Amino acid sequence: MPSPRMGVMLSLLVLLLGTTLHARPAGAQVRIKDIADVEGIRENQLVGYGLVVGLNGTGDKLDSSVFTKQSLIGMLERLGVNTRDQAGALKTKNVAAVMVTADLPAFARTGSRIDVSISALGDASNLTGGTLLVTPLLAADGEVYAVAQGALTTGAIAARGAASSVTRNIPTAGRIANGATVEREVAYQLASHPQIRLGLRNPDLNTARRMAEAVNRTLGSGVAKATDPRTVALNFGSRDVIEALALVEDLRVEPDNAAVVVIDEASGTIVMGANVRVSTVAIAQGNLTIRVTETPLVSQPGAFSGGTTAIVPRTNVQVDDSSDKKLGILSANVTLRDLVASLNALGVGPRDMISILQSIKAAGALQADLVVR
**What pLDDT, in 10s, does the model give residues 272-294?**
777 787 777 666 655 544 455 65
| pLDDT value at residue 324 | 55
Question: Last residue of some domain: 128, 159, 182?
Answer: 182
What per-residue string of b and e applies to 75-93 under the rule 16 or more CB within 10 Å gives b?
A: beeeeeeeeeeeeeeeeee
**pLDDT > 90 in the chain, percent:** 38
pLDDT of 37 reads 92
What's the pLDDT tens digit per position in 325-345?
Answer: 555 555 556 666 677 776 677
The neighbour count for residue 226, using CB atoms within 10 Å, is 20
* 145 has a pLDDT exceeding 60: yes
| 336 and 275 in a common domain | yes
pLDDT at 6: 46
Burial of 293 (0-12, 13-18, 19+ CB in 10 A): exposed
Rounded Cα distance between 184 and 145, Å, is 5
139 and 59 within one domain: yes
Same domain, residue pair 105 and 66: yes
* Whole-angstrom distance, CA of residue 149 vs CA of residue 181: 9
pLDDT of amino acid 354: 78
Among the three residues 182, 203, 223, which one is the final residue of a domain in this structure?
182
Angle 205-219/241-249 helices, nearest 10 degrees?
A: 130
Q: Look at residue 20 and tell me if it is in a domain.
A: no
Mean residue pLDDT of the chain comes to 80
Helix (H) or strand (E) holding 264: strand 260-264
Helix (H) or strand (E) holding 132, with range, is strand 131-138
* End-of-domain residue from the set 135, 160, 182: 182
Residue 21 lies in a domain: no
How far is C-alpha 2 from the geometric centre of its chain's CA atoms? 59
Q: What is the pLDDT of residue 261?
A: 83
Q: How confident is the model at residue 27 (pLDDT cuts 50, 70, 90)?
A: very low
pLDDT tens digit string along 213-261?
999 999 999 999 999 999 999 999 889 999 999 999 999 999 988 888 8
Report pLDDT for 25.
Answer: 43
What local confidence, expressed as pLDDT, does residue 322 receive?
55
Among candidate residues 182, 165, 28, the one with its CA nearest the CA of residue 113: 182
Q: Is 248 a domain residue?
A: yes
Supply the pLDDT for residue 276.
Answer: 80
Nearest to 279 by CA among 335, 325, 355: 335
Q: What is the pLDDT of residue 334?
A: 66
User: Can you say how many angstroms the Cα of residue 149 is from the centroid of all Cα atoms in its chain?
Assistant: 28
Looking at the structure, tell me whether residues 292 and 324 fall in a common domain: yes
Beta bridge pairs of residue 110? none
Q: Cβ distance 233 to 195 under 8 Å?
A: yes
Q: Are residues 177 and 206 in the same domain?
A: no
| Predicted local confidence at residue 333, as pLDDT | 61
The answer to whether position 267 is within a domain reads yes
How many CB atoms lie under 10 A from the CB of residue 259? 15
Task: Answer with the residue of higher pLDDT: 102 or 193.
Answer: 102
Query: Would you say residue 21 has pLDDT above 60?
Result: no
Q: How confident is the model at residue 110 (pLDDT cuts 50, 70, 90)?
A: very high
Please report whether residue 6 resides in a domain: no
Q: How many domains, the chain?
A: 3
pLDDT tens digits for 289-312? 445 565 677 677 766 666 677 776
Give residue 367's pLDDT band: very low, low, confident or very high (50, 70, 90). confident
**d(C-alpha 235, C-alpha 95), whole Å:** 55
Same domain (yes/no): 242, 273: no
The pLDDT-based confidence of 55 (bands split at 50, 70, 90) is: very high
pLDDT at 178 over 90: yes
pLDDT higher than threshold 50 for residue 10: no
Examine the domain organization and report whether 340 and 269 are in the same domain. Answer: yes
β-pair type (260-264, 369-372): parallel
Residue 39 in any domain: the answer is: no
Characterize the bridge pairing of strands 277-278 and 281-284.
unpaired
Q: pLDDT at position 278, please?
A: 76
359 vs 322: which has the higher pLDDT: 359
Q: Which residues form the domain of 237? A: 189-253
Residue range 172-181: average pLDDT? Answer: 94
Residue 111 has pLDDT above 90, yes or no: yes
Are residues 77 and 125 part of one domain? yes
Give me the percent of the chain exceeding a pLDDT of 70: 76
Residue 84 sits in the same domain as residue 107: yes
pTM over 0.85: no
